[in-house]
Each structure stands twice: as C-alpha cells, then as structure tokens.
C-alpha cells in the first residue's frame, strides 16, 4: 500500500530564497525496484540509499531527458546505478559478487548500515550524467569514492566541483520485524548565489549564520521523524525550519518504471558482431534479460545472424 507522505520530493527555500533545498522520502518506489531482483539485504539497502540520492540530485536540475547516478568500484558491489527521467520515473540496479560480499561481511566488525555504500563499492568513482538526447552536450560530474558515507562522497563533489555550500543528510532503513519494506530518504540544502537575477552576498555573516543554523537543524533530524509515515514532508520541514522563512516551492511524485522494450534490445543486439551473437545462442535462441527490471526477452538466432 502506498503512503501519501512518501515517494515524493518536496522543494523549499529558506531565508527569503537565499537557500534552496529538497526533501525526498521513498517507500513504494523502492519495493517496486527491489522486487524485480533477489539482492542480499545490504545490496538492497545500498541501492535504496543510492536511489534517494539520485532523486535529490536530479530534482535540483532543469533537464529534459535522463539523469543517471552511478557508483562504480572494485569492492564486492561493483555497480550501483539509478536513473531518473524528467517525467519522474526512476529505476535502479546493482552488480555484485556474492562470494566477495560474504567475505567482506565476515571481515566487518560492526553492522553500521549507513557506512556500507563506500565500504561495499570499494575504491572507484561516482558519476552523474544528464543525457538530453541527440545533438545536446552530455553533462557529467565525477568524484572519487573517498568518504565513509554516500553523503560524504556527494558533499565532496559539491565542494570540489561546483563550489556550492551544501548540507546533505541521507537515511536508509532495511526491513525490521514483520515489515519487508525498505525505506530511504534524504534532505539537501544549498546556498544560491542569485535571487531573481540579483546577486546575493552569501558570504555575509548573517547569511553564514543562518546557513549554519539550517545545517544544524538538518543534522538534528532523526530517522524516526524522517520515516514516520504519519508526518508529511511539509510538517518535517516546518518543524526544522519555521524560524528561517520556510517556503514550500514544489512537490513532485516519483514512480518506478523501466524503459526497456523488445525493440530497444533488438537494436542493441543488432549492433553486435555475428560471432558475438553466435556465442549467446542456446538451442537456436538468444535470451536477454533487462538488468533494471529482470524482464526476459527471447529472440531467434536467425533474427540476427546472416548465414
């Protein structure tokens, strides 16, 4: 059952528009993504957190097309990827090595879920891309996976690449007790240099103080509040920021949807060399599975290979 307080991203501004932020809380979207896979709990948890970050980052951009957040590394989970369309459809998947995952688990002394993403993915990088279709420039941001948590890595990106003062906190919860649900959430706040085209002196000490206050409020937000299904995101924001000229600016709903199709897969396979296609054939058929939704597509060998 879906909860009206989840699967949305609510945008807001503080300090008369000097700071902008957003809060995302995911429930059904994650169950829809994860039920397509049989991932171990820690992989599902890491993918849930990655999905929440992908929504936060994509929702902050104006684009028409596809936003992709991808973590790639040399650890037991070699890929975590979530993509979000400008129509607010999200899908996500992971690639992992079961044996390495078990070994890494045995080596760990604590079970701190929040620390798991960089630990699981190992050394590598996190990339953001925005693809707006043919004849447009591909926007790409890249940061190495240095940090204990996924939010530390994202904050490092904003500091090094975009030089924007950012506050960010991510939350994730694996199933507990009778619940089989994963939850993930996040809140992000940034200083904006312009307001209505007029430059704001965000180095002004009053602004700095307000930003520090807002940051402290974000850090004080607890998992219990963030995952309380009785509380709307607006109520959480009001509790945190009522003293800082809070204004809610937008609310967007997100849904799981995969964009795979037989035609798309056919055109991908058609670009393969005959010998590669032959390697994939079993009993005259080629079976291809979508990584994102596990949908199986079956083709006949003679659809591709010219004898």
CB of 35 to Zn ion, least distance (A): 13
User: How far is residue 23's CA from residue 11's CA, in Å, rounded to a whole number?
Assistant: 7
CB of 181 to Zn ion, least distance (A): 22
Q: Provide CB contacts within 8 A for 140, sequence distance 6+.
A: 127, 128, 129, 130
Find the binder of Zn ion among 258, 286, 299, 304 (CB under 5 A). 258
Residue 33 lies near Zn ion (rule: CB under 5 A) = no
CB of 126 to Zn ion, least distance (A): 23
- Which stretch in 18-26, 92-100, 137-145, 284-292 sits in contact with Zn ion by CB under 5 A? 284-292
User: How far is residue 289's CA from residue 19's CA, in Å, rounded to a whole number?
Assistant: 44
Residue 292 lies near Zn ion (rule: CB under 5 A) = yes
Find the binder of Zn ion among 200, 260, 286, 299 (CB under 5 A). 260
The helix/strand/coil state of 1 is coil
Q: Among 216, 304, 295, 273, which residue's Cα sits nearest to residue 36?
A: 295
Two tokens, residue 134:
């043919």
CB of 85 to Zn ion, least distance (A): 13
Question: CB count, 10 Å around CB of 119?
Answer: 19
Residue 290 lies near Zn ion (rule: CB under 5 A) = yes
- Which stretch in 35-43, 79-87, 150-158, 286-294 sits in contact with Zn ion by CB under 5 A? 286-294
CB of 294 to Zn ion, least distance (A): 7
CB of 92 to Zn ion, least distance (A): 11
Residue 93 lies near Zn ion (rule: CB under 5 A) = no
Contacts 24+ apart (CB under 8 A), 264-269: 265/290, 265/297, 266/299, 266/303, 269/299, 269/304
If binding means CB under 5 A, how many residues of this protein chain bind Zn ion? 6
Residue 293 lies near Zn ion (rule: CB under 5 A) = yes
Q: Provide CB contacts within 8 A for 233, sequence distance 6+.
A: 5, 8, 10, 23, 25, 251
CB 54 within 8 Å of CB 92: yes
CB of 299 to Zn ion, least distance (A): 16
Residue 256 lies near Zn ion (rule: CB under 5 A) = no
Q: State the binding string over 216-255 for Zn ion (x if CB under 5 A, else -).
A: ----------------------------------------
| Residue with tokens 């009001």, as numbered in its chain | 238
> Which chain residues interact with Zn ion by CB under 5 A?
258, 260, 290, 292-293, 295
């Amino acid at each position: 059952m879906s909860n009206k307080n989840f699967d949305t991203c609510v945008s807001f501004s503080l300090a008369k528009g000097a700071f902008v932020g957003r809060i995302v809380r995911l429930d059904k979207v994650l169950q829809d993504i994860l039920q397509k896979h049989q991932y171990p709990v820690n992989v599902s948890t890491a993918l849930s957190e990655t999905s929440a970050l992908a929504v936060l980052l994509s929702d902050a951009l104006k684009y028409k097309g596809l936003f992709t957040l991808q973590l790639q590394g040399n650890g037991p989970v070699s890929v975590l990827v979530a993509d979000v369309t400008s129509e607010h459809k999200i899908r996500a998947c992971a690639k992992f090595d079961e044996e390495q995952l078990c070994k890494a688990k045995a080596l760990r002394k604590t079970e701190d879920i929040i620390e798991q993403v960089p630990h699981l993915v190992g050394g590598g990088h996190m990339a953001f891309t925005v693809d707006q279709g043919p004849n447009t420039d591909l926007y790409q941001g890249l940061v190495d996976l240095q940090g204990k948590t996924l939010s530390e890595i994202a904050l490092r990106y904003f500091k090094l690449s975009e030089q924007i003062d950012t506050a960010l906190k991510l939350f994730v919860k694996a199933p507990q007790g009778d619940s089989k649900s994963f939850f993930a959430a996040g809140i992000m706040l940034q200083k904006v240099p312009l307001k209505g085209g007029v430059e704001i002196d965000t180095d002004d000490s009053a602004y700095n103080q307000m930003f520090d206050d807002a940051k402290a409020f974000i850090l004080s937000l607890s998992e219990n509040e963030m995952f309380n299904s009785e509380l709307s995101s607006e109520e959480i924001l009001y509790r945190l920021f009522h003293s800082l000229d809070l204004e809610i600016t937008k609310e967007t709903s997100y849904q799981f949807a995969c964009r795979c199709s037989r035609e798309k897969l056919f055109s991908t396979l058609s670009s393969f060399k005959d010998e590669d296609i032959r390697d994939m054939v079993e009993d005259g058929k080629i079976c291809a599975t979508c990584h994102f939704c596990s949908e199986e597509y079956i083709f006949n060998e003679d659809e591709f290979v010219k004898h």
